[in-house]
Amino acid sequence: MEFRNDNGVLIARRSGETLRIEPWGPDSFRVRATMFSKFTENLWALTETPKASNAVVEIAENHQEAVITNGRIKATVNFAGVITFYRDGKQILQEYYRSYGGTISKESRCLKVVNREWKGIIGGSDYSLNLKFESNDGEKIFGKGQYQQAYMDLKGCTLELAQRNSQISVPFAVSNLGYGMLWNNPAVGNVTFGRNYTEWIARATKEMDYWITVADAPKQILANYTDVTGHAPMFPEDRMGLWQCKLRYRTQDEVLTVARQYQKEGIKIDLIVIDFFHWTLQGDWKFDKTYWPDPKAMVDELHSMGIKVIVSVWPSVDRKSENFYPMMERGLLIKTERGAAQTYDYQGDCVEIDPFNPETRQYVWEVCKKNYYDYGIDAFWLDNSEPDYGVYDFENYRYMDAPALECSNMYPQMYSRIFYDNMKDLRDGNVVNLLRCAWAGSQKYGNVVWSGDVPSTFEAFYDQLQCGLNMGLAGIPWWTTDIGGFMTDDVNDPDFQQLLIRWYQFAVYSAVFRMHGDRGPYDIPPLDDRDWGGGYLHTGQPNELWSYGEENYKIMKKYYNIRMEMLDYIKSLYKEASENGSPLIRTMFYEFPEDATCWELQDQYMFGSEYLVAPIFKLNQFEREVYLPAGTWKLTSDGTVYEGGQTVCVAAPLEYTPVFQKQ
């Protein structure tokens, strides 16, 4: 192994590979390796200038080992190229090596398994990369974005590093051993946190790139991460209340009727959402004038009520769209490696936009500005932002910058920047757009991320809590769900209505309070018999607060009032999220890292530092056990005060979900 100290950066070369370990903020390293003659210099998620830090590099005289230290973190590299990381002198992570020549006994094996395996992709210039680490017994791993599963602790899980509808790969992990690691690579692949080893796979890449930091507690780990990937803006106060949405308002009269009724009921809504197929064709990005004859007048009336307006924009462009051939001719759409040029086939023969191309971003913004923003539209619902391919064959798609296999996980972030980069200097500067997907660093681009098209079941509701908590630990604080889930067969089913109330109660104690869902049965006829435009596609049943009967409406109004009474507190949480990356909904161990029990809990959470929330995840469950950490806690339903350090059983009638306020 050849080692070199390059002004406080450790460089190592062996067998054609160049390894670079450098300080990247306090107590942190950026680690890169490549088989090429030089690094790409892509920053990927590490867009912020790191705070100054002084690293010390020491190289052994016999060149058998080199050490680099940056504050509390240290890395050693042995002559076989194996990296070991230490926090305050204690080993936390070591690459996995089972081949000849290791200097640590367990590394010397005959298996010929190396720590960093590069394989050239036949016919291409990229490599596939397989990076392995030793597995730490007893370690717990969290974050990594959103995966539709019941497991919050990711140890033992295999996760696809790819974007899908309701799956969001944000590759930052937090360990209970006191470190956080960002896989700073948007390539499609997998990570497995196995019992025998951890394995990161990039199916096509030019270099290895990850960032690692150490700290005493998850809150500081997340603060370190936010400093290098970007801080969320301050969330506007006028969007912290109720967002009203359904699938789908088909006309401007429907929108105005709903808004007027809310005003009559004395319920202030902050936003109303105009969902998909208000347009003529996918990719036209404009209202169908048949059903939206005067968008400007509609927006003006909604604004007079204090209501912001958000409109759905999809990245798909139908071949019949007026924008298809101009965009195809100029190379602004995704390319397929083989077969027909089609990437999406829902309600049309479509190809999706390529937001990696700056010309695409400018083209789409100019159309949307003319047809939406100039009418006064306040925000955009950037749906299908993974993008939602007809088939997730990533190897068949190519963007301007690279094949999809190499960078597709960054697509939602680039899509969001079509709007953020142009909106941030307009109007009041408060950009808040709604997306179904994100990547590392998306928090800085005004993205509210929701959990996708999930079923309306108690099981899915439970999964969403795991999704939201891990998204927060991956640095995405503006996260939400469809209240009641997205897919409902029958809104009149009492079981569904019970689920809806439980989900609604949870949403009150979350970042964004948003009514949405596709509500069956589908017995509402279309507005016309055309096979295109704003009238032909089905709509769901009503989804306003009063739509589910008087008893449910009473509960919803009560919890609406609870949300409104907490606005000053919620504002303080958004301020904290902007300052240090703390999510609004937090794992129990985020607030109580010294309490071992809190590292085991995944069915209750903290809403900020003050409220402990214990949702109800089962049908006809009217009591539940709740663990209270050390301190004094007041049950908000009746004012009963409990001492912490114990598990209590409390009542949970339908009109109340258990919430404790820290005293």
Q: Which of 531, 516, 536 is closest to 278 using CA atoms?
A: 536
Contact 350, 319 (CB under 8 A): yes
Give residue 189's identity as a one-letter amino acid code. G
Residues 6 or more apart whose Cβ sits within 8 Å of residue 192: 157, 158, 159, 198, 199
CA distance 624 to 27: 42
Residues 6 or more apart whose Cβ sits within 8 Å of residue 622: 651, 652, 653, 654
Neighbouring C-beta atoms of residue 141, cutoff 10 Å: 23
CA distance 81 to 210: 16
3-state SS string over 221-236?
A: HHHHHHHHHCCCCCCC
Asked whether the CA dihedral 273, 606, 168, 171 is positive or negative, the reply is positive
CA distance 107 to 635: 54
CA dist 379 → 26, 74, 312, 429 (Å): 37, 45, 9, 12
Tokens of 375: 């009418």
Query: Residue 63 has what DSSP assignment?
Result: S
CA distance 200 to 629: 35
Neighbouring C-beta atoms of residue 125, cutoff 10 Å: 9
Contact 645, 626 (CB under 8 A): no
Q: What is the DSSP string of 355-368?
A: TTSHHHHHHHHHHH
CA dist 638 → 401, 501, 566, 567, 646 (Å): 59, 20, 18, 22, 19
Give residue 476's identity as a one-letter amino acid code. I
At 207, phi and psi to the nearest 5?
-160, 155
Contact 468, 604 (CB under 8 A): no
CA dist 340 → 1, 316, 354, 397 (Å): 49, 15, 17, 11
CA distance 274 to 251: 9
At 548, phi and psi to the nearest 5?
-120, 25
Q: Which of 333, 364, 83 is closest to 208 using CA atoms?
A: 83
Which residues lie across from 120 on neighbouring strands? 127
CA distance 136 to 468: 26
Contact 608, 584 (CB under 8 A): yes
CA distance 86 to 92: 5
CA distance 10 to 6: 6
Contact 575, 568 (CB under 8 A): no
Q: Catalogue the active-site residues.
A: 383, 386, 453
Residues 6 or more apart whose Cβ sits within 8 Å of residue 183: 161, 171, 172, 173, 191, 200, 210
- Label residue 124 exposed, middle or buried (CB < 10 Å: 0-12, 13-18, 19+): exposed
Which strand (E) or helix (H) includes residue 632?
strand 632-635
Contact 334, 382 (CB under 8 A): no
